[in-house]
Structure 1
């Protein structure tokens, strides 16, 4: 059967998306497998966050999505409007949301911001809590020092500026690492007849697919430009999903850093 070629002039226009990875900007531990300390009350950090927002605003987004649960959009809207009323007062709402996304929204003259997160628990420490009979050697060696297996991104985070950290977090190799360390490595953990690690990883895939579904709930047209700010592992998964999508076209984050 002959193959029918599609006319190359039939190019489908897609919605432009700036899918931006960050770490969670607040002091103390998070539930993430990887985390970075960042003092949100430090004046220099606040100024650096505003500079990042100015760079991102050059994308000229018409829609902004953040890692806030979909069910909290009313609260998010109230916090954002309070910031618009008094932008000189730094907002630390959800850390990077208040410090970066709110300022991008203000600079872009947007009236609202969307939360697309969907909370789901999963246990990425499962391999340490069971008798792992699948491949405990690979699993244990990896988690002793994950960065040792990823030489291209094995750097001292403490020596990096905020801008340099964000460039690292948006490096495709770092995004691949985040999927591996948060999910895929769990497939090496499980009992003799069980799939405990893989099942936990599936929960994380499920959470990110639900975040993607929330993104797809937002009304938009081909003329919209979407900026998504989320923790790096969510950015990594969303990038995978949107990279195959008939609707979205990812733009290069480095063009704005």
Structure 2
């Protein structure tokens, strides 16, 4: 048993009520903040479903080797997809948002119209194994939706002057950092481990892994290694993160804002899992949305 000196004990006892009073005052202040921002009132709900690219991950740089790709059109995988869609339908989304550019909205409207009529979409320049069709179209038709909503966005980085980008990066082309190579190997190992899970686990369990908080956070880890590139006057790594990865996700969020028409909305966002860490942070911070836990729909 630890005995306090009388002077220390007296000081502690005198300060304790004040400490507790401060704690109560803080709680009261936080409660008042919630009242000011009307956090007790209904807002639009959003369900963030992070996925992998069903069509063999051929659409972006995070590709899966051909010998490790799974066939999402097989009978077994189709059964798993239908089970997942049935589970997610319990969210009762009023809108379904997909990883497609809004510039292609009319084209996807026409595809979805044909899909609802039972027409085959093969040969129309799209891959029907893609999650857009296997999850988005299938669920929208099940729920009787008139359309689905493309919300993808390109980052601001692509609008910057190519000359400025080339000159700046050339200045630091010889810059070396051993930690980058070290962590690159670690993330390559993570990717190989992830591919084995994709084969071994049922779809819902693999999506549980992709949407776990630890996995969501690791998805931006490699970006945060590269932010040290450059120097103080030219923080090209940090600027690259802001103008490319962070900026793109804020733009995606803004596209969801534009399709939200009231507090009654329940919007399902089907998107690449690597985006979910920042999208979750952004939607959680927004006073306009409530983020619904996706895990209860992945059991």
TM-score, length-scaled by structure 1: 0.82
- SS of structure 1 residue aligned to 2:91: coil
RMSD: 3.2
Aligned ranges for residues 1-257 of structure 1 at < 5 Å? 5=29, 6=32, 11-27=40-56, 29-33=58-62, 35=64, 37-86=69-118, 92-93=127-128, 95-120=130-155, 130-133=173-176, 136-146=177-187, 156-157=196-197, 158-181=199-222, 183-190=223-230, 194-202=234-242, 203-257=244-298
1:196 is displaced (CA, Å) by: 2.9
For 1:88 and 1:70, the matched residues in 2 are separated by 23
Residue correspondences, number: 247
Contact 1:66 1:229 in 2 (8 A): yes
Distance (Å, rounded) in 2 between the aligned partners of 1:154 and 1:92: 23
Q: 1:7 to 1:118 in 2, by over 3 A?
A: closer
CA distance in 2, matches of 1:102, 1:113: 7
Residue 248 of structure 1 deviates from its aligned partner by: 0.6
Q: CA deviation at 1:214?
A: 0.9
Name whichever of 190-199 and 48-57 sits farther off: 190-199
**Does the 8 Å CA contact 1:208/1:238 hold for their aligned counterparts?**
yes
Q: Secondary structure at the match of 2:151?
A: strand
Instruction: Tell me the TM-score normalised to structure 2 length.
Output: 0.72
For residue 71 of structure 1, report the CA deviation from its aligned partner.
1.1
Unmatched tracts of structure 2, length 5 or more = 1-24, 159-164
How far apart, in 1, do the equivalents of 2:257 and 2:232 lie? 39
What runs of 5+ residues in structure 1 fail to find an aligned partner? none
Deviation per residue, 1:28-75 (Å, 9 max, x gap): 544244658332443322332222111111111011101000111111
